[in-house]
Amino acid sequence: MTSGSLLIVEDDEALRQGLRHTLEAVGFSPGEASSGEEALLALQHHPYETVLLDVNMPGIGGMETCRRVRQLYPLLPILVLTVRDEEKDKIEALDQGADDYITKPFQFLELTARVRSAIRRFRARTDSADRPITIGDITVDPSARRVTKHGKEVRMTPKEFDLLLTLMRHAGRPLAHQRLLALVWGAEYGGEREYLRTYMSQLRRKLEPDPSHPVYLLTDSYVGYRFRDP
């Protein structure tokens, strides 16, 4: 029994094959792609559960590959591998839809732990996409489009509900402004940060004990927003 399937997207053949052999040895079922174009084709033909994506590649490049994969497969975890460790690069990766960011050189045990965690999250998302989510005293029911706090219904506009559901489905992880706008408003959005400020303010007034000191709907400075880790 494998630990899960993942696609390794890396143009360095030696590193790519080394990762594949090592991941196979610990129970994963990895596939390979040497470019973003190959990765997009591979994802059409195999139900991978995670993508391990190098940023520095020829062709369409890692960031554009990340953006396209996120648009086509909204629930699929993307772990970005890069030698770049500047804050702006991390933010760009998150903006394009990455779920995690791993800097080379990396410890193999850390890498496998993050891959396993990503696969668990993916399976939980796909197995329970319509199940209610409860964190603290807040419950969101996707099927009924209903929000309760302490068991009492909280009225939500459609966009308030969509934003809250998106944040709670990714609880504990920062969602960059651009990605959050694309997930809730659509792929053509990305620069309308005032939308997020307005709706986050509205959600905090409805859900937080003290909106000026939120405990659920948190701001990650210069990056985006996240819902408290359960």
208 vs 172: which has the higher pLDDT: 208
Transcribe 115-144 into DSSP letters: HHHHHHHHHHHHHSTTS-EEETTEEEETTT
Q: What is the pLDDT of residues 38-85, one digit of tens each?
A: 999 999 889 899 999 998 888 898 899 998 898 888 778 899 887 765
* Statement: residue 86 has pLDDT above 70: no
Per DSSP, 107 falls in state -
Rounded CA-CA distance 81/52 in Å is 7
Work out the percent of the chain whose per-residue pLDDT is above 70. 93
Whether the predicted model's global pTM rises above the 0.85 cut: no
Rounded CA-CA distance 197/149 in Å is 22
Cβ neighbors of 80 (< 8 A, separation 6 or more) are 53, 54, 55, 62, 66, 93, 98, 100, 101, 102
Between β-strands 152-154 and 146-149, what pairing exists: parallel, antiparallel or unpaired? Answer: antiparallel
Q: What is the pLDDT of residues 128-146, one digit of tens each?
A: 667 889 999 999 998 888 9
Sign of CA dihedral 111, 182, 222, 61: positive
Cβ neighbors of 11 (< 8 A, separation 6 or more) are 34, 35, 54, 56, 57, 58
